Amino acid sequence: MDKLFWTFPSNNMADIQNYEKVKIDFHPKIPPLEKVKDKTKIDVRYCVISPFAFIHVHWDEKIFELVYEIEEPILNEQEKSFLEQLTTAIRDLINFEGVIERNEDVLLDYIDKRLKLLAVELGIDIPYESYKKIYYYLCRDFIGVNEIEPILRDYFVEDIECNGANSPVYLIHRIYRNLRTSVVFQSNERLESLVEKLAQRCGKHISYADPILDGTLPDGSRVNATYTADITSKGPTFTIRKFTATPWTPVELISFKTLSPEMMAYLWILVQYKMNILITGGTASGKTTLLNAVAFFIPPEARVVSIEDTRELNLPRENWLPSVARGSTGGKGENEISLFTLLRSSFRQSPDYVIVGEVRGKEASVLFQGMASGHSSISTMHSDSVDTLIKRLETPPIELSPTLLNVLDCVCIMTHAVVNKEETRKLREIVEIVNVDPNGIATINTPFTWNASEDKFYYKPGSKVFDKISKRYGISVDELENEFRKRAQLIYELYKRKVFKFEDVQELANRYYKKPDEVLKEFGIASQNI
């Protein structure tokens, strides 16, 4: 056993018990970051765990690549030795399940007290500067998830991807997109330990016998991981899709040029009049982001029921019942609550709107039956065109009758795009479903399209969905088109005045339903026909 375990405090030891408690903030203020067209000019640094962990994004001349470096306190050899001993000792004292569930402030205080106590008991003489660094690493590893905790705390990170040992961890950054990080796991053992911790945080188990993890972290982030080289040849892997506590607002999406103010105004009207909307596109094309933004426009008094297999939606409203599917605990379907079960149950909960995070199986039939019975629905699905969407819905495992697709009013098709050498997401087109015949042949109308060569959005008047709304609600098409123009102007004014804040956008949308003329006047927009 290491001799340090058997030494005793000397009279010259620092008075560790009287050290001031180290201040550590896992939720520092989110910094403003701007896009820079020339990647070689990017050199930004911001804090993610104050005052210890910083992120440095900069151009690396050696590899001709933008890199994401985590800057944490540097430990000397003695400090590393102290940290290793104290980590082992504290791990024996802490109930790991308690760490997951207990209050963060209570845990910080608990670690502070245990660190001071154990340092004295083990005869470890730690100067205060070293004490602060060791305290940080203990908090990071016991409250968080080791090396990747600073990345998880970074507001701007969307996805974290580890392809195995001896390979850099990559991530997707909201501003700078795909980045190589400074995190590299040097051994399979270290990576296995992290994957085990991720499984524990998700309340699940991973092992050689059951080597695939699909779970959700306490903050709502989705985790997929593998455990053995039998499954992935580079060893254990993990991918984390981070949960966004504050979703992008409709006005922010306009500022990113993801869609136009006219597109957003059109979707606003469709949501108000309970039309059925399906958002499609490839993986990570922005489907859920657009779904969250569209949900801002649901009238404030409406009851919303959402169903997801992993929590990603965040609706700024009180009358909202969020449901999340539960996987089986024994791998054989025991105790499983599927999307199909939740969706079937949701129609008995008197919803005004049903939102399904993503349909991919038999729950689609329940969703479309619900649409047919008058429940307004918004959902997402993987598909890059209306034709492929219809084929997916017609074929196993969904097998819908083509004529049932007529209850769908509008399809929004999201896409990845590279504009001016920058990766971005675009609402490529909004397609109205006019009719689907028994052979699955669709008659469509496309009022909005994005022109890739010009990077411009185009609008073609003559919405068929406006015709449906007119017949259903007794409102003239001219009135709807006039309202559409007013809302497009309003959204554009919000963009010009940089009204991006989550609460501000929601308050304006809610107020517009009650006093539209007042809101229009406030932003200098004529309330009469325009």
- Asked if residue 523 is part of any domain, the answer here is no
Which is higher by pLDDT, 287 or 337? 287
Backbone angles phi, psi at 187, to 5 degrees: -150, 155
Once rounded to an integer, what is the mean pLDDT over residues 257-286? 95
413, 385 Cβ separation under 8 angstroms: yes
Which pLDDT belongs to residue 11?
Answer: 42
Residues 212 and 120 reside in one and the same domain: no
> In 3-state terms, the chain is what percent helix, strand and coil (to 5)?
35, 25, 40
Residues 225 and 311 reside in one and the same domain: no
* Whether the predicted pLDDT of 403 surpasses 90: no
Q: At a CB cut-off of 8 Å and minimum separation 6, what does 242 contact? A: 152, 157, 158, 159, 160, 221
Residues 341 and 421 reside in one and the same domain: yes
Residues 465, 375: Cα–Cα separation, whole Å:
17
- Asked if residue 506 is part of any domain, the answer here is no
Tell me the two tokens of residue 149.
Answer: 């905790």
Which pLDDT belongs to residue 355?
Answer: 92
- Asked if residue 3 is part of any domain, the answer here is yes
Which pLDDT belongs to residue 94?
Answer: 61
Which residues sit opposite 216 in a β-bridge?
222
Residues 465, 477: Cα–Cα separation, whole Å:
10
CATH value at residue 324: 3.40.50.300
Once rounded to an integer, what is the mean pLDDT over residues 239-265? 91
Using DSSP's 3-state secondary structure scheme, residue 151 falls into helix
Once rounded to an integer, what is the mean pLDDT over residues 347-366? 86
CATH value at residue 192: 3.30.450.370
* Whether the predicted pLDDT of 387 surpasses 90: yes
Q: Where are the alpha helices (DSSP H) in 424-515?
A: 464-473, 477-496, 502-514
> What residue type is assigned to position 411 of the chain?
V
Residues 300 and 374 reside in one and the same domain: yes
Residues 229 and 279 reside in one and the same domain: no
Task: Point out the least confidently predicted range of 27-41, 168-182, 209-223, 310-324.
Answer: 310-324
Which is higher by pLDDT, 177 or 316? 177
pLDDT band at 335 (very low <50, low <70, confident <90, very high): low
Using DSSP's 3-state secondary structure scheme, residue 343 falls into helix
Strands (E), 198-246: 212-216, 222-226, 237-241
Q: At a CB cut-off of 8 Å and minimum separation 6, what does 124 contact? A: 4, 82, 85, 86, 118
Residue span of the structural domain in which 185 resides: 159-168+181-243
Task: Point out the least confidently predicted range of 17-21, 176-180, 273-277, 464-468.
Answer: 17-21
Tell me the two tokens of residue 506.
Answer: 């929601």
Residues 190 and 218 reside in one and the same domain: yes
Which pLDDT belongs to residue 14?
Answer: 57
Which pLDDT belongs to residue 327?
Answer: 62
Which pLDDT belongs to residue 521?
Answer: 94
Tokens 């290491």 correspond to what residue?
Answer: 2
Which pLDDT belongs to residue 223?
Answer: 93
* Whether the predicted pLDDT of 98 surpasses 70: no
Residues 396, 485: Cα–Cα separation, whole Å:
42
113, 139 Cβ separation under 8 angstroms: no
Once rounded to an integer, what is the mean pLDDT over residues 483-507? 94
Residues 295 and 419 reside in one and the same domain: yes
Once rounded to an integer, what is the mean pLDDT over residues 122-146? 92
Once rounded to an integer, what is the mean pLDDT over residues 77-89? 92
- Asked if residue 350 is part of any domain, the answer here is yes
Once rounded to an integer, what is the mean pLDDT over residues 139-160? 94
Count the neighbouring beta carbons within 10 Å of the beta carbon of residue 514.
10
DSSP 88: H
Residues 352 and 415 reside in one and the same domain: yes
381, 280 Cβ separation under 8 angstroms: yes
Residues 442, 15: Cα–Cα separation, whole Å:
78
In this structure, is the dihedral angle defined by the CA atoms of residues 410, 416, 422 and 428, taken in order, positive or negative? negative
**Percent of the chain whose predicted confidence (pLDDT) is above 90:** 59
Count Cβ neighbours within 10 Å for each residue of 114-134 and write b for 16 or more, e otherwise.
Answer: bbbebbbebebbbeeebbbbb
Cα 66 to Cα 86, 155, 252, 374: the distances in Å are 36, 18, 25, 50
As to burial, measured by CB atoms within 10 angstroms (0-12 exposed, 13-18 middle, 19+ buried), residue 453 is exposed
* Whether the predicted pLDDT of 336 surpasses 80: no
Which pLDDT belongs to residue 333?
Answer: 52
- Asked if residue 491 is part of any domain, the answer here is no
Please say which residue of 212, 243, 274 terminates a domain: 243
Residues 525, 530: Cα–Cα separation, whole Å:
9
Backbone angles phi, psi at 156, to 5 degrees: -85, -5
Please say which residue of 195, 220, 243 terminates a domain: 243
* Whether the predicted pLDDT of 103 surpasses 80: no
Once rounded to an integer, what is the mean pLDDT over residues 391-404? 89
- Asked if residue 529 is part of any domain, the answer here is no
Residues 357 and 312 reside in one and the same domain: yes
pLDDT band at 102 (very low <50, low <70, confident <90, very high): low
- Asked if residue 103 is part of any domain, the answer here is yes
Please say which residue of 205, 227, 243 terminates a domain: 243
Task: Point out the least confidently predicted range of 88-92, 93-97, 234-238, 269-273.
Answer: 93-97
Tell me the two tokens of residue 436.
Answer: 């689907």
Residues 319, 330: Cα–Cα separation, whole Å:
34
* Whether the predicted pLDDT of 528 surpasses 80: no
* Whether the predicted pLDDT of 331 surpasses 60: no
- Asked if residue 488 is part of any domain, the answer here is no
Which is higher by pLDDT, 43 or 37? 43
User: What is the average pLDDT score of the chain?
Assistant: 88
370, 351 Cβ separation under 8 angstroms: no
Which pLDDT belongs to residue 488?
Answer: 97
* Whether the predicted pLDDT of 13 surpasses 70: no
First to last CA, the chain: 83
Tell me the two tokens of residue 172.
Answer: 């997707």
Residues 291 and 198 reside in one and the same domain: no
Which residues sit opposite 431 in a β-bridge?
411
Residues 5 and 136 reside in one and the same domain: yes
* Whether the predicted pLDDT of 444 surpasses 60: yes
* Whether the predicted pLDDT of 343 surpasses 90: no
* Whether the predicted pLDDT of 480 surpasses 90: yes
Most confident among 18-22, 261-265, 281-285 (mean pLDDT): 261-265
Q: What's the domain count of the chain?
A: 3
Measured in residues, the chain has a length of: 530
Residues 8, 10: Cα–Cα separation, whole Å:
6
Residues 206 and 282 reside in one and the same domain: no
